[in-house]
């Protein structure tokens, strides 16, 4: 029998949670010295140096050099936020924390291990995960997959290891969904990528626990350029989770990742990302999925940190009856810009997409929704729905919506809705009458605003997302 919890008890529980996160901080740094670094700045020689130290096959070296040429030729995007703070010549593009890659946690170097302990990664793996990969600066330092899934043919490891162990499989998919010609940051990743993860799930295998990769950027004015490839074969299913953090420094850092997802016929893929970068990071990833006949692709994202974020997970619905569902939360604090959204391209008949974007702006934070919805001619009886909701906390907070919708198929159906609101006086008055301060009441309203996205995240990760959001608001002075 379910016991009903009163509003007063709910408030008490929230207050206890708020107390529990006082003093928590994901922006700590560690005195870990890399065993190797290419130094600051990017040249053709640096690109060749990265490939040489990794002992890569020639096809990868040639690909890197071609990507470097394209990176040099492409301009910095000017259609979005100001990116002039990226100091290309002062970034450390490759930093190797240790000479070893291990699949036994006890063998991870102690200082690096302590960092991941502070972030709760070992406990998360033991309780909730089928496998995990841990990356520190430019390299994966640890990967592990439970034996149950190894025996079923699942492959899960850092991408550098996969290039050596499964070169033909990696070559078939590397930079196919996201070619390095796509944009300047994709070209940069093609030239200097390091780390990331590689997941292959064989036909008909259903992994009932999530797999997680955690990316930690530790150095000042550094770059992290991981490349992730997820292949879920016909009739299979998997849930991949990534988490990201970095210390806060005076000089800016750059995160420019690529994520390629291949959802084969009638497969089901969920990709959850919780990014809590510090306020000195430019976060510029490119994420894209190819979704085949009858496959389901779900994106769930939480963007809670960074100086500037530009991220638009994309689904190319290539087969009939394929579908995509994109849920995104972004929080823009003081002096930060969150230019986020999603893309859905309907390329086949009877395809469907749903995009839900929630943004919160605090003080002078700027939240922007930028999306693309395209229904190609021939995508008969396809349907799409886009929903953008923005919550402004202060008078100087701003929110913008830039939808781009192209409908070329007359039988397709499409809807777009958007709302912008502020925390209401009536709600604040009611909660304050129940004993909460104004900041505590504001926190509850914010979490309620995000509820329809939060309930789509597995419970243990939704709890962590709640804690991160409340911590972020606490830092900004929005929570007492």
**Confidence at residue 334, expressed as pLDDT on a 0 to 100 scale:** 84
Q: Which residues of the chain have pLDDT under 50?
A: 1-5, 7-8, 10-29, 102, 113, 476, 478-480
pLDDT at site 316: 98
pLDDT in tens, 338-377: 999 999 999 999 999 999 998 888 888 899 999 999 999 9
* Per-residue model confidence (pLDDT) at position 446: 72
pTM score, whole prediction: 0.85
Backbone angles phi, psi at 10, to 5 degrees: -60, -40
Per-residue confidence (pLDDT) for residue 178, from 0 to 100: 97
**What pLDDT does 61 receive?**
96
Taking 3-state DSSP, the helix, strand and coil percentages for the chain, each rounded to the nearest 5, stand at 30, 35, 40
Question: Strand 131-136 to strand 139-145: parallel, antiparallel, or no bridges (unpaired)?
Answer: antiparallel
Cα–Cα distance measured from residue 479 to residue 465, given in angstroms and rounded to the nearest whole number: 16
Q: For residue 37, which of 188, 189, 219, 213 has the smallest C-alpha distance?
A: 219
- pLDDT, tens digit (0-9, with 9 covering 90-100), for 45-97: 999 999 999 999 999 999 999 999 999 999 999 999 999 999 999 999 988 76
Joined tokens for residue 214: 């955690």
Angle between helices 7-20 and 459-475 (to 10 degrees): 70
Other beta carbons less than 10 A from residue 423's beta carbon: 16
Q: In Å, what is the CA distance from 147 to each residue of 153, 162, 228, 229, 465? A: 10, 18, 22, 21, 29
């Amino acid at each position: 029998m379910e016991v009903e919890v009163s509003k007063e008890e709910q408030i008490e529980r929230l207050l206890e949670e708020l107390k529990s996160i006082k003093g928590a901080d994901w922006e700590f740094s560690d005195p870990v010295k890399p065993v190797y670094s290419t130094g600051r700045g990017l040249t053709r020689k640096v690109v060749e140096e990265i490939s040489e130290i990794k002992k890569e096959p020639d096809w990868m070296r040639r690909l890197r050099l071609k990507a470097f040429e394209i990176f040099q030729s492409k301009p910095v995007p000017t259609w979005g936020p100001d990116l002039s703070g990226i100091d290309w010549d002062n970034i450390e593009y490759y930093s190797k924390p240790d000479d070893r890659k291990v699949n036994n946690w006890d063998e991870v170097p102690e200082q690096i291990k302590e960092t991941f302990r502070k972030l709760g990664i070992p406990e998360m793996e033991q309780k909730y995960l089928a496998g995990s990969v841990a990356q520190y600066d430019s390299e994966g330092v640890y990967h592990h997959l439970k034996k149950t899934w190894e025996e079923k043919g699942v492959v899960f490891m850092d991408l550098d290891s996969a290039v050596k162990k499964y070169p033909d499989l990696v070559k078939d998919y590397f930079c196919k969904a996201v070619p390095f010609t796509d944009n300047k940051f994709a070209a940069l990743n093609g030239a200097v990528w390091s780390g990331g993860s590689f997941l292959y799930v064989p036909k008909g295998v259903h992994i009932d626990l999530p797999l997680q990769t955690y990316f930690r950027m530790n150095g000042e004015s550094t770059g992290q350029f991981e490349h992730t490839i997820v292949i879920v074969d016909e009739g299979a299913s998997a849930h991949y989770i990534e988490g990201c953090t970095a210390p806060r420094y005076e000089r800016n850092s750059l995160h420019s990742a690529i994520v390629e997802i291949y959802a084969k016929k009638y497969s089901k893929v969920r990709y959850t990302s919780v990014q809590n970068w510090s306020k000195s990071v430019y976060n510029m990833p490119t994420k894209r999925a190819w979704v085949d006949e009858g496959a389901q692709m779900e994106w769930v994202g939480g963007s809670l940190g960074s100086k500037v974020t530009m991220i638009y997970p994309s689904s190319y619905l290539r087969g009939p009856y394929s579908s995509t569902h994109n849920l995104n939360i972004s929080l823009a604090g003081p002096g930060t810009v969150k230019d986020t959204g999603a893309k859905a391209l309907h390329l086949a008949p009877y395809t469907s997409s749903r995009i839900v974007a929630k943004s919160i702006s605090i003080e002078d934070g700027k939240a922007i929704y930028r999306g693309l919805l395209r229904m190609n001619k021939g995508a008969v009886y396809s349907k799409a729905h886009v929903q953008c909701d923005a919550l402004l906390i202060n008078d100087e907070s701003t929110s913008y919506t830039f939808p781009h919708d192209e409908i070329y198929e007359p039988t397709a159906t499409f809807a777009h809705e958007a709302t912008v609101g502020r925390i209401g006086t009536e709600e604040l008055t009611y909660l304050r009458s129940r004993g909460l301060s104004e900041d505590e009441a504001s926190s509850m309203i914010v979490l309620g605003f995000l509820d329809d996205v939060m309930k789509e995240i597995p419970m243990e990760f939704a709890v962590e997302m709640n804690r991160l959001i409340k911590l972020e608001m606490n830092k900004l002075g929005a929570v007492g």
